[in-house]
Amino acid sequence: MKLSVVIVNYNVKHFLEQCLNSVVKALEGLEGEIIVVDNNSVDGSIKLLKEKFKDIQLIANKKNTGFAVANNQAIKIAKGEYVLLLNPDTIVQEDTFSKCLEFMDETSNAGALGVKMYDGKGLFLPESKRGLPTPSVAFYKIFGLSTIFPKSKIFGKYHLGYLSENDIHEVDVLSGAFMLLRKKAIDKVGLLDESFFMYGEDIDLSYRIINGGYKNYYFPKTNIIHYKGESTKKSSINYVFIFYKAMIIFAEKHFSKKNIKSFSRLINLAIYFRATIAVIQRVINRWGLPILDFFFFTGLIYGLALLYQWFTTISFPSTTIKLIIPFYALVWTITNSVLGNHTPPVNYKKILKSNLIGLLILLAFYALIPKSVQFSRAIILGSSIVTFIASLLTRHTFQYLQIGLYKYYEKNNKTMAVVGSLNEIERIEQLVKNNLDNFKKIYRINPLKKEPNSNGFDGDLSQLNEFVMINKIDEVIFCAKDISSQNIIYSMANIETKKRIDFKIIPEKSQFIIGSQSIYTNENFYTTNLKNINSQDNIRKKRAFDIYAGFALLIAAPIFIFFRGYTKAMKNIPTVLIGKKTWVGYENNSQNINLPKIKPSVFSVVNSPEEKKEDVTAKINIIYAKDYSLMVDFNLFIKRIFKS
């Protein structure tokens, strides 16, 4: 047998389906096999494999064994002369395997091979070729010098930026996303090192292949799409620790004892440095605008009060200035947050609504406080106007400058181009209409070279580059049924525009449109399944409610401490505030994988024993997901709290 394709899957069912479709096509005419190792996925991956890909070899693990262990399980039973380690979030061209195998056959000293990779935006991935992370190379990467000087032969060694991405090169390190291995080389140097759970094992294996007398080659004569860590948040603290700890394991294994000490110190310094940056970035992204709101509102209201005193010769007590003004600012900050005005898009109606709610709260509060610290109602009304204007200005500024969460915001009001047959395009148009609140227009692109504006098409594939620029396209969707992976990748790579274009692909007969997940995008795909509870707006509202309800519980602790539900809530406040749980959610016993994913809940939507019957529970969970609103969470939360 010529080739064994090994794919390790963990909860990326829809990416896996698309990957396997491309692999099956690329194996046509070759003697090969596909081995999928599933690391205890709970998203229905096993069911998908058994129903749609019956010819593959499946290893279904009962726990997440990690990347290295899972790959080794497959390599041990692989029959191919070559073994390809392939990520499930990739798409290969129809000729990828044949071209790579031809090169390996002709190059006897080649132990491993990697290819040119593009991400889901059509951008070249520099990790397609890498250098060995020696202490100096690691230092340049950790402290950003490799990013500042990517083409430098000194500072750019980590991604070998000084080597052309279009030429074949001998390199030190290949990416585990696509790593074609000569089986004889694996037999000589050994399997993947299982002390690496995730990250680093590809560096270690690449290094051992070179030490074994073979060479690693970067081969750009074929391209693949790698959606690049869809399940990994590379700005997260957890990623920082795992990635850099893997580098320490590598250093301890291969470097001299003298170098290990200096390298370990460097890496530990890097961990704290990067972790600090990750925390700061997260705080700025999530809380930058609320903090700005609070101080901006406080300053504006204070300025308004000074003007009012100057024109009317009325003097406000110092207590009013010190306590009441920040309180007013806090109220409008909180109402903005609860209604989702601290995250994109800018919504005039919601900003006005939150402003009016804050105004009503403050007017009610005004009647309750002593006259000695009261403001004039004119100040409250004037503050309402200036905070409304300020809210609009700050949000438009954040959106224009792409700051914080606005940096990666994917707007709903998109102009799209769909490449495919008329039947497929019509099917996608229906999917888009069912799942996007609004969009400008959908253009129809013929995958074949036909006359434009004929047979219901607006253009053809050869015109896509110009079409995108002239019509200001935001998103291009390719129908895998009607266009080859090769043409999809070429089309993505050849679109020349400074504007960030999103590319998505829909497999044949699929209800999912697959694309890259950005920091702020709610889902990787559009789907006709339930998703109301996971709409961007509801995710924001639910998270804001979790936070403010948590703080309210802490403040009210002395009053309600004797209620049983309150006691349960108090124990869970830390996990809710850090985002690991939500106050209200599905019945914990529910195993319905078709429900939109939410965090584990403190209180269930199901209450009475009668409701906890399996069929009743399923219906209640579905209704909760489908018809979710913030008031549902609020009402259930209050009921559970006051449960005696």
**Between helices 630-641 and 536-555, what is the axis angle to 10°?**
30
Structure tokens, 607 = 């209450």
Q: Provide the greatest CA pair distance for the chain.
A: 93
Which DSSP category does 322 fall into?
Answer: I
Structure tokens, 501 = 């274009």
Pairwise CA distance, residues 306 & 326, whole Å: 15
Confidence of residue 84 (pLDDT cuts 50, 70, 90): very high
Q: Give the rounded percent of residues in the chain with a pLDDT score beyond 70.
A: 80
Q: Residue 220: is its pLDDT beyond 60? A: yes
Pairwise CA distance, residues 564 & 60, whole Å: 42
pLDDT at position 373 is: 66
**Please, what is the Cα angle at 187 between 184 and 191, to 5 degrees?**
125
Confidence of residue 634 (pLDDT cuts 50, 70, 90): confident
Q: Residue 54: is its pLDDT beyond 70? A: yes
Task: Give the global pTM.
Answer: 0.68
- The count of other CB atoms within 10 Å of the CB of residue 314 is 11
Structure tokens, 74 = 């497959």
Confidence of residue 419 (pLDDT cuts 50, 70, 90): very high
Average pLDDT over residues 166-191: 94
Pairwise CA distance, residues 422 & 456, whole Å: 8
Average pLDDT over residues 213-222: 96
Interval 269-281: pLDDT, tens = 766 676 677 677 7
Structure tokens, 582 = 């939500």
Pairwise CA distance, residues 59 & 205, whole Å: 23
- The count of other CB atoms within 10 Å of the CB of residue 407 is 15
Average pLDDT over residues 30-48: 91
- The count of other CB atoms within 10 Å of the CB of residue 305 is 22
Pairwise CA distance, residues 414 & 250, whole Å: 45
Amino acid at site 314: I
Structure tokens, 267 = 């890496």
Q: Residue 171: is its pLDDT beyond 50? A: yes
DSSP element (H, E) containing 97: helix 96-106
CB 587 within 8 A of CB 605: yes
What residue ranges define each of the domains in the chain, with the CATH number in brackets? 3-129+165-229 (3.90.550.10), 283-397 (no CATH), 414-518 (3.40.50.720), 533-641 (no CATH)
Average pLDDT over residues 526-545: 67
Pairwise CA distance, residues 230 & 479, whole Å: 21
Pairwise CA distance, residues 470 & 417, whole Å: 12
Q: Residue 642: is its pLDDT beyond 80? A: no
What's the count of helices (H) and strands (E) in the chain, helices before strands? 22, 18
Spatial neighbors of 630 by CB under 8 A, at least 6 apart, are 338, 538, 541, 542, 545
CB 230 within 8 A of CB 524: yes
pLDDT at position 640 is: 82
CA 463 centroid distance within chain: 31
Among residues 448, 452, 447, which one has the least CA distance to residue 471?
A: 452
Q: Residue 234: is its pLDDT beyond 60? A: no
Average pLDDT over residues 94-118: 95
Structure tokens, 523 = 């889902």
* Preceding amide of 133 cis, omega within 30: no
pLDDT at position 559 is: 65
Which DSSP category does 451 fall into?
Answer: -
Pairwise CA distance, residues 270 & 150, whole Å: 20
- For the chain, how big is the Rg over CA atoms in Å? 28
Where is average pLDDT lowest: 21-25, 494-498, 500-504, 632-636? 494-498
Interval 458-501: pLDDT, tens = 888 888 888 888 888 888 999 988 998 888 888 888 887 666 78
DSSP element (H, E) containing 11: none
Q: Residue 437: is its pLDDT beyond 70? A: no
Structure tokens, 481 = 């049924």
Structure tokens, 73 = 């399980």
Among residues 76, 7, 80, 84, which one has the least CA distance to residue 38?
A: 7
Average pLDDT over residues 130-151: 81
CB 293 within 8 A of CB 336: yes
pLDDT at position 330 is: 92
CB 50 within 8 A of CB 29: no
Among residues 24, 29, 4, which one has the least CA distance to residue 82?
A: 4
pLDDT at position 529 is: 42
DSSP element (H, E) containing 419: strand 414-419
Which DSSP category does 597 fall into?
Answer: P
Rounded-to-10 torsion of CA 155, 160, 162, 164: -170
